[in-house]
């Protein structure tokens, strides 16, 4: 039998409980678009910073985005977080 395995997760963006395929990010379907918008805003900001670096608190303040949401993108591997430095855009160029 090939049952797909689902986990009951709490959305990292809105906090709603939802079923997600095992192994996927805890972003509910309603928040996928928001996650993408946040990612682009943060990426654009990081790209304008010297050495493409900015700390999370500063990025959150400048973009008006909750810090925990930016930290979530870091946890998902979209950005790197360097100790004492802050966010680093993983992709060079673009
Ligand atoms: Zn959500």
Ion ligand 1 — residues with CB < 5 Å: 11, 13-14, 28, 30-31
Question: What spacing in Å lies between the alpha carbon of 74 and ligand 1's midpoint?
Answer: 17
Contact criterion met (CB below 8 Å) for 86 and 60 = no
Instruction: Report the pLDDT value the prediction gives residue 84, as an integer from 0 to 100.
Output: 61
Region 59-86: what's the mean pLDDT?
87
Question: What spacing in Å lies between the alpha carbon of 88 and ligand 1's midpoint?
Answer: 25
Q: For 16, list phi and psi in degrees, rounded to 5.
A: -75, 145
Region 39-51: what's the mean pLDDT?
90
- Tens-place pLDDT, residues 54-67: 889 999 999 999 99
Mean pLDDT, the chain, integer: 87
Region 14-28: what's the mean pLDDT?
93
Question: What spacing in Å lies between the alpha carbon of 17 and ligand 1's midpoint?
Answer: 8
DSSP string, 41-56: HHHHHHHHSGGGEE-H
CB half-sphere exposure, 71, CA atoms < 13 A: 5
- DSSP structural state of residue 3: P
- Give the distance, in angstroms, between the CA of residue 28 and the centroid of all CA atoms in the same chain: 13
- Is position 94 within any domain? no
Contact criterion met (CB below 8 Å) for 11 and 24 = no
At 83, the pLDDT band (50, 70, 90 cuts) reads low
Q: Which domain holds residue 71?
A: 6-89
Contact criterion met (CB below 8 Å) for 90 and 78 = yes
Number of domains in the chain: 1
Question: What spacing in Å lies between the alpha carbon of 33 and ligand 1's midpoint?
Answer: 10
- Is position 37 within any domain? yes
At 1, the pLDDT band (50, 70, 90 cuts) reads low
């Amino acid at each position: 039998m090939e049952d797909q395995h689902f986990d009951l997760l709490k959305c990292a963006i809105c906090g709603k409980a939802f079923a997600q395929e095992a192994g996927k990010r805890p972003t509910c379907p309603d928040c996928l678009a928001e996650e993408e918008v946040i990612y682009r805003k943060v990426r654009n900001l990081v790209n304008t910073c010297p050495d493409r670096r900015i700390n999370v608190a500063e990025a959150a303040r400048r973009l008006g985005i909750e810090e925990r949401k930016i930290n979530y993108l870091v946890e998902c591997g979209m950005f790197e977080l360097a100790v004492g430095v802050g966010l680093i855009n993983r992709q060079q160029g673009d």
